Amino acid sequence: MAGSDPVTGDATAMTTNQLLSPNKAGRGLGSGSATCRSLPLPLALPFSILEHIGRGTFYCVWYLAFYVLCMFRPFTGLMMLASIVMVPVSIVVYAHPDAARGMPFWSFGLMSIGLVACALAYTIFLDWFTPPGTADPFERYRKGR
């Protein structure tokens, strides 16, 4: 075939000589003034700058959001503690229904399950949301880990 690559036989692949040789109109890819050959870089430069600014902004927001979310991680420990406290409260409300002013005893059990689920989901989300190469910046303030 006329435009096929002799090594692979691919009809779409063209060699450098075929690209630089003049086509039927007498103008090849390499013909033209120096201004036309250097035009793609000045056209691509603003887009490249915008891409890098956008990427930098994205990473800054990502790291800042991770930093703020890590500050709230100790509240998940408090949620676990609150869920442990809800179990005896549920038993007390079961024994004395008037102690909770109309709330059924099982609502405290559901709150306990909800607090545990919320704490675990927050921890899993924060582990998933962690930017690459980053550790928890507040790890040093927690003694138990």
DSSP codes of every residue in 52-72 = HHHHHHHHHHHHHHHHHHHHT
- At 82 the pLDDT is 94
Give dist(CA 126, CA 129) in Å, integer.
5
- At 34 the pLDDT is 53
- At 11 the pLDDT is 52
Domain boundaries, the chain: 45-95
- Measured CA distances, 61 to 53, 55, 88, 89, 135 (Å): 12, 10, 42, 42, 16
Place of tokens 């229904």: 97
- At 71 the pLDDT is 92
The ranges of the chain with pLDDT < 70 are: 1-39, 143-145
pTM of the model: 0.61
- At 69 the pLDDT is 93
